């Protein structure tokens, strides 16, 4: 158990969350600002490991849902977060013992911390995917037997919708349209779980991982070290998961398109060394597959991240622009995401990529 008691830590965590967001998940910036303000006032979020809670503890995910383009500008209201907590406890008919991120990648890393800061309810050092994914039914929570609903959505005006769906895919569909009607963004409490269940279905130690990642990039930057060498070493120290710099270059083209409510796109990166080498990255909300000269080098559920070549700052898909100098990073997913049951839901074909999953270390 620890408290997040300085602003640098929350900034580091947000930076790490963007890296794990693999281009998607929404920018955690407004959430980071909210938590930083709370830290200034002495309201510190508390983080506990899943081993520290009781089997029958009541755990709920607190998440934002909606368009990333809206989430990035939607300020977090203290009143709304408090109201969400109160309504959620009333709805489930019991006190919440711990909060958890549904996905650690992107904005949803911050909202449980924000609520923890103002309520004192701790956040678990774990989440439902260890990266970002576009749909509720793609979390390890759903894959390994927890249920997204009954869930509760609310907006800043005070509209409240509860959902009890027959499947998490239907929960996703209903939540998405409700968030749309609520102004393209809503806050939700979702995945009610016991402590015992959380230990089984969550990806562990991911909140501390955001801190390690963000801190590593910042410190390497401050000490003029080799940011990317340090980062690869830091990521590699995580259960021996492989991390590699896949490409170094300049963004030559970015195409964005909204199709079936997904953010589809393609980034093309050209080598800086004068060769014809080219890296292409397909976007389906997240960066799904990286190919160098047409050959796959990292594919979902392994992580593809694009970072600024000078500062090492990880970039979201919306931030990509022609001419940016970037490095492309590949990173093995948590082992839980590579299990057969996970790959049925998270494999490349689930994102419209017509190939089998192959681990980054074999590519």
User: Site residues (CB under 8 A) for a second copy?
Assistant: 157-166, 170, 173-174, 176-178, 180-182
d(CA 363, CA 360): 5
Angle in degrees, CA 122, 126, 132, rounded to 5? 120
- 123-127 and 262-271: which strand pairing? unpaired
Closer to a second copy by Cβ: residue 157 or 224: 157
Q: Smallest gap, in angstroms, from Cβ of residue 167 to a second copy? A: 9
Closer to a second copy by Cβ: residue 180 or 236: 180
Q: Smallest gap, in angstroms, from Cβ of residue 86 to a second copy? A: 13
> Does residue 207 contact residue 14 with C-beta atoms inside 8 Å?
no
Q: Smallest gap, in angstroms, from Cβ of residue 193 to a second copy? A: 20
3-class secondary structure, 16: helix
Query: What is the layout of strands, in order, in the sheet containing 286-292?
Result: 295-299, 286-292, 278-284, 262-271, 243-259, 325-331, 303-308, 314-315
Q: Smallest gap, in angstroms, from Cβ of residue 77 to a second copy? A: 15
Query: Dihedrals φ, ψ of 182, to 5°?
Result: -85, 10
Q: Which two tokens stand for residue 187?
A: 């806050």
Q: Smallest gap, in angstroms, from Cβ of residue 294 to a second copy? A: 39
Closer to a second copy by Cβ: residue 223 or 261: 261
d(CA 352, CA 46): 39
> Does residue 297 contact residue 344 with C-beta atoms inside 8 Å?
no
Closer to a second copy by Cβ: residue 159 or 293: 159
Q: Smallest gap, in angstroms, from Cβ of residue 147 to a second copy? A: 13
Closer to a second copy by Cβ: residue 160 or 363: 160
Closer to a second copy by Cβ: residue 157 or 362: 157
């Amino acid at each position: 158990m620890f408290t997040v008691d300085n602003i640098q830590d929350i900034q580091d965590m947000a930076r790490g969350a963007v890296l794990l967001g693999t281009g998607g998940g929404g920018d955690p910036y407004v959430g980071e600002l909210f938590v930083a303000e709370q830290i200034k006032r002495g309201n510190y979020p508390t983080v506990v490991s899943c081993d520290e809670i009781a089997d029958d503890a009541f755990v709920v995910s607190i998440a934002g849902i909606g368009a990333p383009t809206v989430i990035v500008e939607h300020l977090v209201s203290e009143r709304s977060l408090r109201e969400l907590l109160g309504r959620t406890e009333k709805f489930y008919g019991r006190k919440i013992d711990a909060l958890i991120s549904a996905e650690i990648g992107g904005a949803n890393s911050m909202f449980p911390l924000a609520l923890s800061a103002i309520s004192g309810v701790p956040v678990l050092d774990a989440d439902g995917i260890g990266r970002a994914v576009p749909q509720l039914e793609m979390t390890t929570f759903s894959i390994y037997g927890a249920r997204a609903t009954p869930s509760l959505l609310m907006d800043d005006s005070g509209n409240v919708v509860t959902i009890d769906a027959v499947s998490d895919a239907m929960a996703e569909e209903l939540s998405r349209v409700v968030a749309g009607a609520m102004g393209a963004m809503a806050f939700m409490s979702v995945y009610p779980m016991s402590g015992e269940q959380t230990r089984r279905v969550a990806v562990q130690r991911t909140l501390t991982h955001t801190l390690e990642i963000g801190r590593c990039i910042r410190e390497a930057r401050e000490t003029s070290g080799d940011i990317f060498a340090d980062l690869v070493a830091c990521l590699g120290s995580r259960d021996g998961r492989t991390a590699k710099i896949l490409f170094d270059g300049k963004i030559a083209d970015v195409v964005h398109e909204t199709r079936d409510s997904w953010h589809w796109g393609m980034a093309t990166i050209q080598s800086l060394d004068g060769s014809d080498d080219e890296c292409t990255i397909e976007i389906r909300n997240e960066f799904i597959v990286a190919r160098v000269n047409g050959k796959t080098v990292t594919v979902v559920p392994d992580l593809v991240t694009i970072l600024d070549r000078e500062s090492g700052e990880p970039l979201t898909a919306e931030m990509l622009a022609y001419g940016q100098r970037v490095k492309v990073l590949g990173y093995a997913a948590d082992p839980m995401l590579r299990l057969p049951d996970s790959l049925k839901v998270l494999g490349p074909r689930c994102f419209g990529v017509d190939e089998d999953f192959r681990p980054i270390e074999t590519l």
